[in-house]
Structures are given as structure tokens and as C-alpha cells.
Amino acid sequence: MLAALGVEIKPDLLTLALTHRSYAYENGGLPPNERLEFLGDAVLGLVITDHLYNEHPDLPEGQLAKLRASVVNMQALAGVARGLGKGGLGAHLLLGKGEELTGGRDKASILADGLEAIIGAVYLEHGIEVARKLVHRLFDDLLAEAPLRGAGLDWKTSLQELTASASLGVPEYRVVDTGPDHQKEFSATVLIAGEPRGEGRGTTKKEAEQNAAEMAWRSLTAELEAGKDSEDAGNPGGDKEQAGGKAQPGATTGQ
């Protein structure tokens, strides 16, 4: 795992970073990794925020927060943790017997906390610049995808914002369920301006609607971008005023 991190951590500090509270409790009250997790969470947030602030100088606070949340969230951190070396971070965690039996090595919350603890340990041993390099090594791919992932925090909200900006009204969702009560599957269709634009399935109504909204958002975004590119190509100079300073009668203003 250290090879995957690309940085050395002292054995005792690494052991602490990998010690889940369930293991600590079952082994005489050893210190768990929670303080390191607390520290690593702050370091991770600082590095990601600093990057986004400098990378997107024109974005307002609300959009920056959305991009950050798309990178610094439990599922994203767990995904990074699963990719750390052979077996991922989960293979190296120290867990109590109960957590071991209930699949704790692949629980998103435990993996995310463990990764933050590792970042905290690196910061303690090597300082902020080494920790910054580690964060970028682990998260640069997610940062590159942040504009799209930011929409994915809530596809339904993002789709509604998109349809509102395009004057297409409010999306309408139609959901049907199949299967017995204990094992239902939901299928959702989202309509925009009365036309089906996305379909999705899931084990809950919310999941099905989110999947349908994602399909519609991607399709509509591509459609609107293609339309904008076509419009720009057809009018490369934009709408220009006549030499006398007045717009040509009947000309439309640019969008």
C-alpha cells in the first residue's frame, strides 16, 4: 500500500491510521484513527479548496462548494481507497470481529475515514507540501471530472436547473415498480416538455429517478452544446452594428 501512496509513513503512525475504533475497543482500548481522520479531513479539504479556488477564478462560492463536494464526499473517498494497492486500503485496515463479519473492509464510511487518517498521518510526518502532493496524486482524476461530477450530486436538481435555463419547464417523472414487496425494482421515465428524455432503474424510487435524470441531463446538455456550436459556426462574427452605430433593422441580438 505504501508503494501506491508513494510516501513513507512510520510503522507506529501507519498502524494508528489503520486502526478502526472497533478493533481498538476489542483490544483493550487502543487509540483509534479518529483523531488522524479529523486532521486528514481538514488537510484534504484545504488542498482541494485551494486547487479549485485557483483553477476556477471566475466561479462564485456556491459553484466552488458544489465542485468540492463532488470530490470530497464519502463515496468518492471510498473509491480512491479501493484503488490503493493490492486489495485496496480495506485489506490493510485493523477491524474488530463484528465489523469484519459485516463486510467492514468494503464499507464506504470506513474506507473514507481510513483514507483521511492516512492523509493526516502523512501531514504529521512530512508536512503540508508532501501531503498536498499525495492528495493531488490520489485525487487529480476526480478534480478533472469535478465539473461533471458536481452535477451528479443531485441529477434531479441539476436537470431542473438546466431545463429552467433552457425555458423547457419542469421535468415530470413517471415511476412504476415490479416484484414482491421485499425485492421491488423501480423504473422511472423523465419527460421534458412532454417528451421522454431519460430512463432509469433502481432498487428505490429515488435511485430510479436519479438515474433517469442523469440520462436526460447528459442528453440535453450535449444537445444544447451542439446547438450553441452550430449557432456560433453560422455567425462567427456575432451580431454587429452597422457603421452608423445602429443595429440592422430586424436583426436579433446575441444570446
Please state, in angstroms and as integers, the Cα–Cα distance from residue 97 to each residue in 23, 93, 102, following that order. Answer: 8, 12, 9
Query: Helix (H, G, I), strand (E, B), or coil: what is residue 208?
Result: helix
Q: b/e string for 217-243 if b means 16 or more Cβ within 10 A?
A: bbebbeeeeeeeeeeeeeeeeeeeeee
E strand or H helix at 9:
none
CA distance 142 to 149: 8
Residues pairing with 174 in the sheet: 189
Give the angle subtended at the CA of 73 by the CAs of 43 and 153, to the nearest 5°.
Answer: 140
CA atoms within 13 A on the CB side of 23: 18
Question: Could you give the residue numbers annotated as active site?
Answer: 41, 116
85 backbone dihedrals φ, ψ, rounded to 5°: 70, -175
CB atoms within 10 A of CB 1: 16
Q: Which residues are annotated as a binding site?
A: 37, 113, 116
CB 111 within 8 A of CB 37: no
Closest CA to 80 of 3, 144, 4: 4
Q: Which residues are annotated as a binding site for Mg(2+)?
A: 37, 113, 116
List Cβ neighbours of 181 (8 Å cut-off, separation of 6 or more): none
101 backbone dihedrals φ, ψ, rounded to 5°: -70, -25
